[in-house]
Structure 1
Amino acid sequence: MPQDEPVIGCTGQVIIATRGSAGPGEILVRVRGGSETFLAWSDDPLPTGATVLVIESRGSREVHVIKWVDPLDALGGDPAGAE
């Protein structure tokens, strides 16, 4: 099945929790100038609202994701410098 290359590397938000190996959830991703939903598989369960990174496209609007934590959040403060 052909991969959906543009979605790989995008971040998204879990809108239906994933269940790890027990089954997929659903994510919303900003891609191609809009927002699209994908079935999302993950190694570990991920709750609704979690931010994820798409690491693989499985074709047919299915992706593999991991939990994403923005490394800039660890810096604290306002990223624009206006505290």
Structure 2
Amino acid sequence: MHSDLSPAGRTGVLLVGTRGQRGPGEVLIRIRGGLETFLAWSDTELPKGATVLVVESRGRRTVDVVAWDASEPPSQ
């Protein structure tokens, strides 16, 4: 189970696609009773609108994400 304060383990949708090592995108995540945006980094390019899983937090407003199949719940 993830903490209500941590984005790690949550799924979200990319508002701005990621560019792999060339730069971050932006992800919208349901957290702390609302919706918040975070800078999103990924190893590969991911398109706008992709569902992603937050695998790690890089600090207060930046996360690492991977592509996620929305039909599967995230592991707890």
Say what the alpha-carbon RMSD is for the aligned residues: 1.2
Encode CA deviations 1:15-60: one digit per residue, 9 max, x unaligned.
0010000000000000111000000000000000000000000003
Cα separation, 2, equivalents of 1:71 and 1:13 = 14
- The AA in structure 1 aligned to 2:41 is W
More helix by share: 1
**Counterpart for residue 59 of structure 1:** 59
Runs of 4+ in 1 over 4 A off after TM superposition: none
Structure 1, gaps ≥5 residues long: 73-83
Distance in 2 separating the partners of 1:40 and 1:24? 5
Please list every run of 5 or more consecutive structure 2 residues that lacks an aligned counterpart in the other structure. none
Question: Aligned runs of 1:1-83 on 2, under 5 Å?
Answer: 6-72=6-72
* Number of residues of Structure 1 aligned to a counterpart in Structure 2: 68
TM norm structure 1: 0.77
Q: Which has the larger radius of gyration?
A: 1
**Identity %, equivalent residues:** 57
